Amino acid sequence: MAHVEKRQASVPAPLEWEYAPAPEARDIVQIRDRYGLFIGGEEVEPRSGEWFTSISPSSEEQLFEVAQAGKEDVGLAVSAARDAFVNGWSEIAPAERAKYLFRIARILQERSREFAVAESLDGGKPIRESRDVDLPLAAAHFFYYAGWADKLEYAFPQRDPKPVGVAAQIIPWNFPLLMLAWKIAPALACGNTVVLKPAETTPLTAMLFTDVCRQAELPPGVVNVVTGDGATGAHLVKSEGIDKLAFTGSTEVGKLIQRELAGTGVKLTLELGGKAANIVFDDAALDQAVEGIVNGIYFNQGHVCCAGSRLLVQESIYEPLIDKLKRRLSTLRVGDPLDKNTDVGAINSKAQLERIRELVASGEEEGAEIYQPPCRLPERGYWFVPTLFTNVAQSYRIAQEEIFGPVLSVLTFRTPEEAVEKANNTAYGLSAGIWTEKGSRILWMVERMRAGVVWANTFNRFDPSSPFGGYKESGFGREGGRHGLEPYLTFE
Amino acid sequence: MAQAPALPEGFELPLEPRIPRIGSVDAVALEERAATLAKRSIKRESKVQALELAVRMMDLTTLEGQDTPGKVAAICSKALRPDPVDLSIPPVAAVCVYPNLVATAKERLRGSGVKVASVATMFPSGQSPTQIKVAEARAVVELGADEVDMVIDRGAFLSGRYAKVYDEIVRVKEACGDAHLKVILETGELGTYDNVRRASLLAMAAGADFVKTSTGKISPAATLPVTLCMMEAVRDVYAETGRVVGIKPAGGIRAAKQSVQYLVVLHETLGRDWLTPDRFRFGASSLLNDVLMQIRKEKTGRYQSGDYFTID
């Protein structure tokens, strides 16, 4: 019999395990030096003659130059949209419109890696999220509304739905491509043409999308994109010839827009800020609730209008839950958005970073207790450590104002009544979360919550078939689902 | 009626009374968390580290009616020197066999540090009188087993007779003496994650050194979410009492990639202190060669055919 050498099993010391960098290749996306405006199916230089630079928030690297559309440029875009609406788009068979949307959806799927990398480069969000959330949902939105295009009379029976005309759409920087999809897909499905203004800091995927429109052979002028800062947005709001305005962004700007459009007859929908309560009852599945809390507030660096930024915990489980949450925070991987293992990426802009810092400082001053896990941040770029505030009172600014960053404020409650009271005690009403094993309590709570979306035992879950929108200062109008068609239609 | 287990003196239920019950598990969120962690991208040196750790954590297993002293001798050789071409590959943690083959394995592995684990308590069903199960556990220890892998009485568990399950584990633990006790929950038969959590806590309260997912005789055997569920129970016990319990997923883990996923879940749930064979094992028969193949690929940049890895 062969002699087998007998070696000692090595001494079992725990392994110091660091994941090696796993960056997604960025050469899949070809970024040009300059992007003009997309008007009437052509990329054109801005009449304003102005350009500005777009940077990557994770490295402060200058990525490309993009046009600053002036009043004249916006006017041209609106005219192009009007032409396209009158000369064809509103007339073609609805099933033909659907074909274009299906085509766009498929192209987005085919080019999803490219778009995901572009989104993470330009906006700072982790590739894990742009790859697994933003892109699949954006494509799903086009697929979903493609299906409605030739069934509008079934969505609104006996009401003879007709397109509105030219829809002006202003979108934020937190989900650039996904918000584009939320806006463009229902507008086109209903037979409208659009002028879209992407956010100042994140125009890249919108510019790549213009290429998708060409690839899909969408008729010229059906989709127009004008880039620029708030001034461009203001031109668009004030421009003659728009029939509908859809805005997603801050409550402050939303109020200005509403004031501007009052009495003009332009249809308006606003999707604004939020200060959602995430309510955890003592019978909830705690480890999963912790995951939901983390997903609720640290997803996309907290740059989410429906983020679960106020955690309401039943006092009887306060300690174990906070212990678990703190432990979990220490495992969040903050860093390079293009690394496939990154959980929390870069803050979208310097201005936003300053706003987060200011509000966090106010929380400390007002007497809340701050917790931040040990965390090594990159030297360049805009970063903020995932932050947890305990001992927060309902009156503190961090419990009232939208921070739009990775900052969670924890409050406690004793009874379901108190939870409802505290959850509703805000100027906003976009979303809420409820964590309990008891089905009857979920229904009891949902009836009383003044929030557009209430998630039960999950958070930040989206589906194109589910309507989304707010109460109170979170805005009005719904996006998604059959409800999302209505703002883009007129009825007899 | 379900009865709360009688607790041995000096041991408190792992969760303090401020948590009103054993706690529950949300299946959707648990599976989502496991799926997210499975997407971690482990490359280069971190991959090699993980694969080598997986070898050191392996309980190389053969549990067949057709097992013979010859077969067991062969897997013992494989356990000691997994890759004859690459002597830097460490031996595995243990060899896991049926009671009748403990003596052969012991003889082959004596002095090597590779442990002999034996299944016991009427593996795999456990549907036999308690005294027979206890006697079997005592017998395998006398035969030289360093570790005993017992099965819980799922029939008792599913009919709510938790006290019986608990008492049996306590008695088997006594019979084991210094041998390490791994308690197999057979999660594939428990039906819900709530049951898995409850059974894990019960086993730990009764004195288990390890909780183990499966016998390998039932499908599904180990899955990532079910192992995560058990890790969370282990973590709660550790947080509340300081008591360390190990975890052993077994059955259905065949690819090196899967083993890395389990280690990621372990790492991000229980932390680096659990990245040791003392606290985590893989129960597997065919996993080892795929791990070896991947290690060689990482070292040489090339895949070699299965013919270059010994089958034992």
| B276 reaches A (C-beta below 8 A) | yes
| Cβ contact, residue pair B26, A14, below 8 Å | no
B22 in reach of chain A (CB within 8 A):
no
pLDDT digits (tens, 9 = 90+) for A323-350: 999 999 999 999 999 999 999 999 999 9
Among residues A305, A402, A473, A486, the one annotated as catalytic is A305
Instruction: Tell me which DSSP letter residue B65 carries.
Output: T
Contact (CB<8Å) A6/B111:
yes
Would you write out chain B's pLDDT as a tens digit for each of its 312 residues?
444 555 555 444 544 444 435 889 999 999 999 999 999 999 999 999 999 999 999 999 999 999 999 999 999 999 999 999 999 999 999 999 999 999 999 999 999 999 999 999 999 999 999 999 999 999 999 999 999 999 999 999 999 999 999 999 999 999 999 999 999 999 999 999 999 999 999 999 999 999 999 999 999 999 999 999 999 999 999 998 899 999 999 999 999 999 999 999 999 999 999 999 999 999 999 999 999 999 999 999 999 888 989 887
- Residues on chain A touching B108 (C-beta within 8 angstroms): 4
Helix axes A230-238, A71-84, angle to 10 degrees: 50
Cβ atoms of residues A58 and A119 within 8 Å: no
Distance CA A47, CA A169 (A): 21
Answer whether B241 touches A (CB < 8 Å). no
Which residues 110-149 of A have a C-beta within 8 angstroms of B? 128, 132
| B39 in reach of chain A (CB within 8 A) | yes
Nearest to A17 among B44, B113, B275 (CB): B275
Which positions of chain A have pLDDT values less than 70? 1-12
What pLDDT sits at residue A444?
Answer: 98
Nearest to A285 among B24, B46, B114 (CB): B24
Binding-face residues of A in 402-441 toward B, CB within 8 A: 437
The tally of CA atoms less than 13 A away on the side-chain side of residue B186 is: 21
Instruction: Confirm or reject contact between A22 and chain B (CB < 8 A).
Output: yes
Q: What is the pLDDT of residue A470?
A: 95
Cβ of B53 within 8 Å of Cβ of A284? The answer is: no
Rounded to the nearest angstrom, the minimum Cα separation between B223 and chain A is: 17
User: Checking DSSP bridges between strand A51-55 and strand A62-67, what pairing results, if any?
Assistant: antiparallel
Which of B41, B81, B232 is the best substitution to test chain A (most A C-beta atoms within 10 A)? B41
Across the interface, whether the CB atoms of A458 and B28 are under 8 A apart is answered: yes
Task: Tell me if residue A271 is catalytic.
Answer: yes
Residues 61-100, chain B, touching A (beta carbon < 8 A): 76-77, 80-81, 90-93
Residue-wise pLDDT tens digits, A8-60:
444 557 899 999 999 999 999 999 999 999 999 999 999 999 999 999 999 99
Residue A367 touches chain B, beta carbons under 8 Å: no
H/E stretch holding A369 reads strand A369-371
Contact A2/B at CB under 8 A: yes
**Which pLDDT score is estimated for B312?**
78
Return all residues near A72 (Cβ < 8 A) that are at least 6 apart.
A47, A48
ipTM: 0.92
Residue A102, token pair as written in the block: 């299906």
Nearest to B93 among A9, A16, A323 (CB): A9
The catalytic residues of B are 149, 212, 248
The answer to whether the peptide bond before residue A172 is cis (omega within 30 degrees of 0) is no
Contact A141, A181 (CB under 8 A): yes
State the count of interchain CB pairs (< 8 A) between A and B: 126
Q: Convert A294-340 into a string of H (helix), E (strand) and C (coil).
A: HHHHHHHHHCCCCCCCEEEEEHHHHHHHHHHHHHHHCCCCECCCCEC
What was the pLDDT predicted at A474?
Answer: 95
Asked if residues B259 and B253 have their Cβ atoms less than 8 Å apart, the reply is yes
What pLDDT shows up at residue B15?
44
Separation between Cα atoms, residue A109 and residue A282, nearest integer Å: 42
Q: Tell me how far apart the alpha carbons of residues A466 and B141 are, in angstroms, rounded to a whole number.
A: 60
Q: Within an 8 Å CB–CB cutoff, is residue B128 touching chain A?
A: no
Which amino acid type is present at position B246? G
pTM over 0.80: yes
CB distance A6–B273 less than 8 Å?
A: no
Least Cα distance to B212 among B91, B301, B123 occurs for: B123
pLDDT tens-digit profile of A52-62? Answer: 999 999 999 99
Question: Which distant-in-sequence residues (6+ apart) come within 8 Å of A257 by Cβ?
Answer: A237, A245, A247, A268, A270
